[in-house]
Structure 1
Amino acid sequence: MKQRKIPMRKDIVTGEMAPKKQLVRVVRNQDQEVSVDPTGKKSGRGAYISLDVDIAKRAKKERTFDHVFGVKIEDTFYDDLIAYVDHQQARRELFNND
């Protein structure tokens, strides 16, 4: 059976390439609103971050998405992102699915 190609994306905080399933997409739409995109299919400019709480906290500290998207983002977005990543990381460890 033919081996399927695994889509790779770059984590904007660390600069490392990783399988798309191990990352979460953050998207900025035409109205300059930034949100987490769990489906990976929202329209707009997307950027990826690893499902790691430490990396999400580093993104908040460095204001990474402010620089990437060129808009001022509230701290509440970063707090929501950290909570989402923490939840997904816990789910992954609990259910052990890659």
Structure 2
Amino acid sequence: MITRFLTDVSVKFNPFSPRSKSARLFLSLIPPTARSDGMKIESKMLPRTSKEPATLDVKFKDGKEMKIDVEKMRITEVMEVVDRHSRQLARKEELLGN
């Protein structure tokens, strides 16, 4: 997963719910040095009895914000959505020579 173009990641999930698996796995795929590289990561764990849905909000360096419904998507689909925009930013950066 391409994370160098992410600036903010906000995740809210119930760790005991099987529908929150994609949210948990997404957090585990973020490299340990991400915070020191300037990424803002917020995670909120909901109580076991919570009926609130799991959410994932991602913000990119170009200002684009994505709200991803992680309850209905597998982790491969979530990664595909995030990587698609990251690859576009990488191409743009490469063409501009930055």
Do the two structures share a fold, i.e. TM-score over 0.5?
Answer: no
Structure with more of its chain in helix, by fraction: 1
User: Higher relative contact order at CA 8 Å, sep ≥6: structure 1 or structure 2?
Assistant: 2
